[in-house]
Amino acid sequence: MLTYNRTILFFILIFFFTAELTAQFIVQNEILKDTFAVDSIKIIGNENTEDYIILRELTFSVGDSVSFNQLDYNKERIYSLGIFNFVNVSADTTLNKISVVINVTESWYIYPIPFYHLVNDEVRYGIRVVWKNFRGRNEKLSATVAMGYNPYYSMTYQIPVLSKEYNLGMNISSYYQRIVNPSESTKNIIGEDFEYIFISNAVTLGKRINQFNNLAVSVGYSYVEAPKYYDEKVNASKQRIDRYPFMGISYQLDTRDLKQYAMMGTYVNVSYLYKGFGVQDISHSIVFGDFRQFGNLFGSLSHKYRVAAQHTAGNSVPIYDLSYIGYKDFVRGHKSDIREGDNSLVISYELDLPLIKEWDLVMDLPLLPKRLTSARIGIHITAFADAGIAFNTRDRINKLCFDKGWGFGINLLFLPHNGLRFEYAWNEFGQGEFLIGTGLSF
C-alpha cells in the first residue's frame, strides 16, 4: 500500500508541475504585450491596509516592463484579496516618467454573510460573521453558525503574512459538527440512520513561494463519536469513539485573475492527508486533486472546466472518510443521488456570458457608511455540463457508469461579499431540478 501511495503522489507531482509550467506560459503570453517600463508605484486610498499587502500581489515591480493588459490582470489580483470594494490600476505619465497608480476603496470589514445551500435534498442555512483585514494585514477572523442539515459551528483565524522575510502564513481552525451518516449502503445494512459528532482542531503553516505558488503543512487532532457501535466501517478504530492525530501537506497553484469569479488563469490544488499514525489502530490516507482552467473563447464569451478527484486508502477506512458524490461535490441533475466508494471523480464544463460584467454600485442610505452599501455588481448567464462517479478500487473500469447532467443558470455577483446562483439542470434521463444557493459552482 505504501508503494501504491508513493506512485500516486509521484504522478500527481509530475502532472501539477506540468500544469504550473503551462499556466505560467499562458499568463506571460496573454498579458505581456506592448510593454512599457515602470518608474514608480504609488498606492492611494488604503487607510488601514499596509502597502505590502497590495504590493505582494503584483506580478511586476519598479524597473520591470508591463502592459495595460497586465495592469488589468493585476487589478483583478488585488481585488481578489476581498478587502476592497473598488480597485483601479492606471499609468501616470507625468514628468515623462511612467508611474503605476493603484487606487483602492476599502470595504467595511466587520459584517455578517448569510448563506443557503441544498444538501442531499435538505436545507442548510446560517450566517458567517467575518472581520476582514484585521490589523490592516489581510488577516481574517470568522465565526460560522450553520443550521438545518448537518449543523455546525466553526471559528478560524487566517494570517496570510506571519513572516514577511520568509513569506510564511498561518491558519488556525476549530469546529464542531453533527453529521448524519453519509453512507446509503451502511444505512441499508443497519436498517436505520444515525448521527456522528465531529470535533476537530488544526493549525496550518503555509509557505508562499511566489504570487502563484503556495505550500502548506497541517497538523491537528480529531474526535469522532458515533451513538453506538454498529460494525467495523462506522468508525476507524472499531470502537464507538475515534480519537486521532492527523497531518497533511498541500500544494496550490493559482494564476486566476479574479479569484471570486475568474475569466482567465489556472487553479490547481493537490493534497495528501494521513490520519491516525496507528493510534487506536487508525491508519488511512486521503489524496485529493482539483484542476480548473479559465479562458476566453471569443468576444465576451468565456469558458471554464474543472476536474476533481479523491482517493482513500488504508486499514479500515471509515464511512465518514470515503469518497462521495452528492454532498460537497455533486452532479447537477443528480443533486440528491448519493454515490460512494474509495474513489470519486467529478468533471464540469461551463460557458459564461456576462450581461453586466462590472458595475460599481454605491448607495447613499441613512445611518449606513458607504463602505457597507457599495459593491461591484455582475450578472452572468451560464450553460453547463457535469459528470461524476464514485467507485471502489477493485471495480472494473469498463463497468463504471457516470452520472451526467446539463443545464442553464444565472449568477448574481455582489463582490467582494457574496454571490447568488439560480440554475436548472436535467440528467441523462430527462429529469429536471431547480438549484439555488449562495456562492459559485467553481
Residue ending a domain, choose from 315, 350, 385 = 350
Cell of 379: 450578472
Identify the bridge partners of residue 66 per DSSP, sorted by sequence position: 36
Q: Do 390 and 346 sit in the same domain of this protein?
A: no
What integer pLDDT is reported at residue 389 of this predicted model? 95
The answer to whether residue 362 sits within a structural domain is yes
Q: Are residues 117 and 215 in the same domain?
A: yes
Helix (H) or strand (E) holding 19: helix 2-31
Looking at residues 36-45, what average pLDDT do you find?
A: 92
In a domain, 247, yes or no: yes
Mean local confidence (pLDDT), 400-429: 92
Residue 159 lies in a domain: yes
pLDDT value at residue 7? 47
Average pLDDT, the chain: 88
Whether 218 shows a pLDDT value over 80: the answer reads: yes
pLDDT score of 394 more than 70: yes
Give the H/E segment covering residue 14: helix 2-31
pLDDT the model gives residue 38: 92
Mean predicted confidence (pLDDT) in 301-310: 97
275 and 404 in a common domain? no
Q: Does 427 share its domain with 365?
A: yes
Span between the terminal Cα atoms of the chain, in Å: 33
Find the Cα–Cα–Cα–Cα dihedral 74, 76, 80, 81, rounded to 10°. 50
Please give the share of the chain, as a percent, with pLDDT higher than 90. 64
Q: Do 287 and 226 reside in the same domain of the chain?
A: yes
Q: How many distinct structural domains can be found in the chain? A: 3
Which structural domain, as residue segments, surrounds residue 440?
351-442
Residues 344 and 355 in one domain: no
Q: What is the 3-state secondary structure (H, E, C) of 26-82?
A: HHHHHHCCCCEECCEEEEECCCCCCHHHHHCCCCCCCCCEECHHHHHHHHHHHHCCC
On the question of pLDDT at 209 being above 60, the answer is: yes
Q: Which residue has the higher pLDDT, 210 or 6?
A: 210
**For residue 254, pLDDT beyond 50:** yes
Q: Is pLDDT above 70 for 22?
A: no
Residue 119 lies in a domain: yes
How high is the pLDDT of residue 126? Answer: 93
**Residue 31 scores a pLDDT above 50:** no
pTM for the predicted model, two decimal places: 0.84
How confident is the model over 233-253, as pLDDT tens digits? 788 988 899 999 999 999 999
Give the DSSP letter of residue 175: E
Segment 312-315 long-range contacts (CB within 8 Å, at least 24 positions apart): 312/284, 312/285, 312/286, 312/287, 312/342, 312/343, 313/1, 313/4, 313/5, 313/284, 313/285, 313/287, 313/342, 313/393, 314/1, 314/275, 314/276, 314/283, 314/284, 314/285, 315/281, 315/282, 315/283, 315/284
pLDDT score at 59: 92
What confidence tens digit (pLDDT) does each residue in 336-356 have?
899 999 999 999 999 999 999
Instruction: Encode pLDDT of 153-199 as tens digits.
Output: 999 999 999 999 999 999 999 999 999 988 888 887 777 788 999 99
pLDDT value at residue 111: 82
Is pLDDT at 15 greater than 60 in this prediction?
A: no
Tens of pLDDT, residue by residue over 264-289, are 999 999 999 999 999 999 999 999 99
Let me know whether 195 and 312 are in one domain: yes
pLDDT at 415: 84
53 vs 94 pLDDT, higher one? 53
Query: Residue 414 has what pLDDT?
Result: 87
Query: Please, which contacts does 37-41 make with residues 24 or more away whose CB atoms are closer than 8 Å?
Result: 37/63, 37/64, 37/65, 37/98, 38/62, 38/63, 38/64, 38/65, 38/66, 38/98, 38/99, 38/100, 39/97, 39/98, 39/99, 40/97, 40/99, 40/100, 41/99, 41/100, 41/102
Give yes or no: residues 226 and 82 share one domain. no
* 139 and 204 part of one domain: yes
Cα–Cα distance, 196 to 318 (Å, whole number): 12
Report CA dihedral (293, 297, 302, 303) to the nearest 10 degrees. -40
Look up cell 440528467; give the residue: 427
- Asked if residue 306 is part of any domain, the answer here is yes
Domain edge (last residue) among 289, 315, 350: 350
Return the minimum-mean-pLDDT range out of 73-87, 291-305, 306-320, 386-400.
Answer: 386-400
pLDDT given for residue 192 in this prediction: 79
Q: Are strands 99-106 and 40-44 parallel, antiparallel or unpaired?
A: parallel
Instruction: Return the pLDDT at 275.
Output: 96
What pLDDT, on a 0 to 100 scale, did the predictor assign at position 98? 87
Structure confidence at residue 263 (pLDDT): 92
In-domain check, residue 17: no
What is the C-alpha separation between 95 and 119, in angstroms, rounded? Answer: 59
- In this structure, the answer to whether residues 112 and 185 fall within a common structural domain is yes
pLDDT at 2: 47
Within this chain, do residues 139 and 218 fall inside the same structural domain, yes or no? yes
3 within some domain: no
Q: Kindly report the CATH number assigned to the domain that includes residue 39.
A: 3.10.20.310
Structural domain contains residue 295:
yes
On the question of pLDDT at 28 being above 70, the answer is no
Residues 340 and 367 in one domain: no
Which pLDDT score is estimated for 54? Answer: 96
Answer yes or no: is pLDDT of 75 > 90. yes
Residue 370 — very low, low, confident or very high, per pLDDT cuts 50/70/90? confident
Last residue of a domain, one of 350, 365, 393: 350
Give me the residues paired with residue 157 across strands: 141, 172
CATH number at residue 234: 2.40.160.50
The arithmetic mean of pLDDT across residues 417-430, rounded, is: 92
